Amino acid sequence: MKNLKASDVMVRPVVAAKKNAPARDVVFQFLNGFYSGMPVTDDEGQVIGIVTELDILDAVLVGKELVKITVKDVMTTKPVTVDVDTALTEVVKTMKEKNIIRLPVTEDGKLVGIVARCDILTSLIEPEFVTYM
């Protein structure tokens, strides 16, 4: 793991939301993509927030309706991101310190991928099983 960087394990393409996306549509993305959060980007591709299942559930708990709120209403601002050249050991430390499941990966300030805890774990194991169809 010492020689790996964020770019070595990140997943792309990455789905991101715009701040005006309806929260209901984001929930559909979560359910269809089997993930629990996504970056929010501006028109230039810079990460301006993160929206998670918990953000949306918090809004619902206080009586907001999914069809009436947007990502901007529920997203976490000032998101933590990592650069493509960030050492994987630093990515793991950041995830642990901030209790983060997935981190947006940027290059020149723009979103280019995402790395989740499971992506890191996958990169550490040798494939010993094969599925034949």
Question: What tokens does 45 get?
Answer: 């591709």
The pLDDT value recorded for residue 2 is 78
Dihedral in degrees, nearest 10, Cα atoms 44, 87, 85, 100:
-10
Spans of all domains in the chain: 6-124
Q: Given this structure, which CATH class describes domain 6-124?
A: alpha beta
Reported as a single tens digit per residue, the pLDDT across 62-115 is: 999 999 999 999 999 999 999 999 999 999 999 999 999 999 999 999 999 999
The pLDDT value recorded for residue 33 is 80
pTM, two decimal places: 0.88
Which residue in the block uniquely carries the two structure tokens 């918990």?
Answer: 54
Reported as a single tens digit per residue, the pLDDT across 2-15 is: 789 999 999 999 99
User: Residue 132 pLDDT > 80, yes or no?
Assistant: no
